[in-house]
Each structure stands twice: as structure tokens, then as C-alpha cells.
Structure 1
Amino acid sequence: MAAERIVVFIDRSNLYHELLKNFGNANVDLSTFVSFLVGKDKLVRAYYYNAPLIQKDNPEGYKNQQKFFSALGLIPKFELKLGRLEKRSGVFIEKLVDVKMAVDIVTHAYSNIYDLAIIVSADSDFVPAIEAAQDFGKKVINVCLPKTKAFHLNAVCNKTIFITEADFIRFLIKKG
């Protein structure tokens, strides 16, 4: 039997905040993480959705983030998809990030780019996109943490994979 064609869709904000909340650290080796998720199947592409920091509001963070974005570009089959940050009442809100991810889930399913989508998020806003992908005959796996409240997302996906602490330790970028 031929290996399944897989596309991984990573909601950076959701993954980052869940890892930080549950493990106190969110420095993940994304290449190792995606390889673990895909296994022996064929990775078509891994998309990483994020919003760049605003340089004038956080020059050091912006500089570090740009270095990270450059490093992501060196990972084979990885693609960075950017939205933007918008300041509202002193708080930064991501704009376009989830919409871009949802559109890609659906358009890639319609274009028959993948057999299986792996969604790394706990955001129920992706439910309609996942249902549309399934209408095109695609399987969808959700990846989240066990304590994450992802009921609606997990209910529509064909399968859910929970990132355990043991898994996280394997993907952790060691300082030094």
C-alpha cells in the first residue's frame, strides 16, 4: 500500500501558548516534531502559521523572531504563512492567521494535495474547514495536549493525537 500524502498545519499561537501553559516551555524542534507526526508516510508540506511581532513595539523579540523565521526556511518542506498583529486597547490581536490556515486546509483538500491533514491546534474555529476537507474525502487528525479543551475539534476529526510530556521532551530544543 502506498504511503499517504500528508500536509501538516501548525497553528503557532495555539501550540505555543498550550505548551507554555502545560510544560513551562515552548521551544520545540519543529522538524523532529513533524517527522514524529508523519512517521513513514510522505510529508508533502508543513505549514507554520504565525504573525510577526511589530518591530517598534518589541525590537528584541522582533529580531529573535526574524532569526527563527529564517531558520524555518532552511527546513525542507516547511513553509511559513504570516498574518499580522493589530493593537487594540493595548493588546495585540492576531489577524488573518486562522483564516489563512482554514483556507489552506480546504483549498489543498479540493486540489487533492493531501490524503491526510494533521492539524496542530485546539481552536474550534477550524471545524468548518475540517468538515469541508472531509467532504472532499480527506482524513484529518488533530494534535493537541491532553488537558486542552478541544472537544469540538476532536469530535469532527478522524483521530486525535495527544502530545504527552514524554513526547514534548523529545521535541524540546535543548539550550546550550
Structure 2
Amino acid sequence: MTLFRRGYIFIDGGYLRSIVVREFIARPDIAEDPILFSTFLKLFGEKYWKSFSGIEINRLLYYDGIIPSDKDLEEHNKMLNFFNELRTQLDYFDVRLGDLIRDSQGKLKQKGVDVLISVDMVIKAFLNHYDVAILIARDRDFVPAVRAVRELTGKYVYCIYAYKHIADELLRIVGVSLPIVKDDLKEITEKISKY
């Protein structure tokens, strides 16, 4: 009898969409269409988190930023529709939203998203919702949360990351890390083109 460890996936959506989809494979259409993006997530999952043997994925939590409705109601509603459609396309999937705010140069930046991921990762570890957290993110801001999960609960934290797009401190503290390979992404996008 094979024993499976329960896994939760924690995805920083801004990281995944901007680094992986837009930069690595130059397919912004995938990041902007909920059907294409959900297909990308399914194929990405088959290639990456399902490659960890003995882990049964029980939940996929996707975190991203949304423009506040008081800043741009039309864009807010457009983004909300995207996230709601994404929710309907994937099983065991939920979306948690922080804010998307323009910085002094006018670039959109996520606010509160890293905190949402960190809090959920720690609380769900203490509530014994998972045995293994698989984090798809880059920031060193996650180091305290990863440390808390590992040292205080004995849970495992793995990381899937884009090469050269991850903080060294985060890479050092996770138990297992798996770099995203550009050829894998090319293969995934070729499959998406067939859908």
C-alpha cells in the first residue's frame, strides 16, 4: 500500500503569469484568457507538481492582485470576471486576491498578496490541512513563513521556480526545489495551441 502525503499548492499568480507565461514563453494571450490560463495550469501541474512522487494534491490556492473598484471599476470588473471564470475551470482550486496598485512609475504592483500566501501557508499547516506545501513564488518575503511551517509544524515545503527569478534565501530554506525548464513550457504551449 502506497502512502500519500497531502499536498497544497500555493501560487503567486503575478509571478507565474509575468515571469513564466509572458517572459519565458512570450504568450501574453495565455495569461489574459481564463480558459487558456486554466489549461496552462492543468498542463503545468501535470509536468511539475505531479512530478513529486507520493504527494496527492488536495488544494490549489492561487493568489493575485486586483485593481480596487474605487480606482478603476471597469478594469476591476474585467479582472474579477477573469478570476471567477478561472475558479470554474479547475477542480480543488480557489483564488485569493490582494490589491494591484500603481507605483510612482505607473507600473502595477501587487500589495498584500505575499502576506495572504504566507498567512494561509502557516495557518493551514497548523490546522494540519497538508503535509507538503508546494510554493510557486520568488520573494524572500516568504522565508519567515517557510521557516515557521518547517520548524514549528514539521511540514515540508517544496518550491517550483523560474531559474534566476528567485531569491537565494528562499531557495536555501525550502526542502526541495524544482526549476522550471523553458523546453517544458514550450511543450505545454504547443499542447495549448491544439486545444
Which TM bucket (shorter chain)?
0.7 to 0.9
Aligned to 2:101: 86
Q: C-alpha separation between the residues in 2 aligned to 1:149 and 1:7? A: 20
Where is the helix percentage greater, Structure 1 or Structure 2? 2
Matched, 1:32 2:33: no
Q: Which amino acid aligns with 1:24?
A: A
Q: C-alpha separation between the residues in 2 aligned to 1:53 and 1:160? A: 32
Aligned to 2:33: none
The unaligned stretches of length 5 or more in structure 2 are 31-36
Aligned to 1:113: 129
Shift in Å, 1:25: 2.7
Tell me, yes or no, if the aligned pair for 2:67 and 2:101 is still in contact at 8 Å.
no
Matched, 1:14 2:15: yes
Matched, 1:157 2:168: no
Matched, 1:68 2:82: yes
Residues 102-131 of structure 1: CA deviation (Å, up to 9, x unaligned): 001100111111111100011111011001
Q: Which moved more, 1:111-120 or 1:140-149?
A: 140-149
Tell me, yes or no, if the aligned pair for 2:137 and 2:166 is still in contact at 8 Å.
no
Percent pairwise identity: 30
Residues 37-90 of structure 1: CA deviation (Å, up to 9, x unaligned): 135631111011011235664846852x33431222121100000111234434
Which residue, 58, 62, 65 being the options, matches 1:48?
62
- Cα 1:61/1:166, change in 2 over 3 Å: farther
Q: C-alpha separation between the residues in 1 aligned to 2:109 and 2:165? A: 21
TM-score, normalisation: structure 2: 0.78
SS in 2 for 1:24: coil
Residues 124-147 of structure 1: CA deviation (Å, up to 9, x unaligned): 110110011102111111111123
SS in 2 for 1:113: coil
Q: C-alpha root-mean-square deviation of aligned residues, in Å?
A: 2.4
TM-score, normalisation: structure 1: 0.86
Shift in Å, 1:32: 2.5
Superposition pairs for residues 94-109 of structure 1, below 5 Å?
94-109=110-125
Count of aligned pairs between the two proteins? 175
Which residue, 138, 144, 158 being the options, matches 1:122?
138
Tell me, yes or no, if the aligned pair for 1:83 and 1:95 is still in contact at 8 Å.
yes
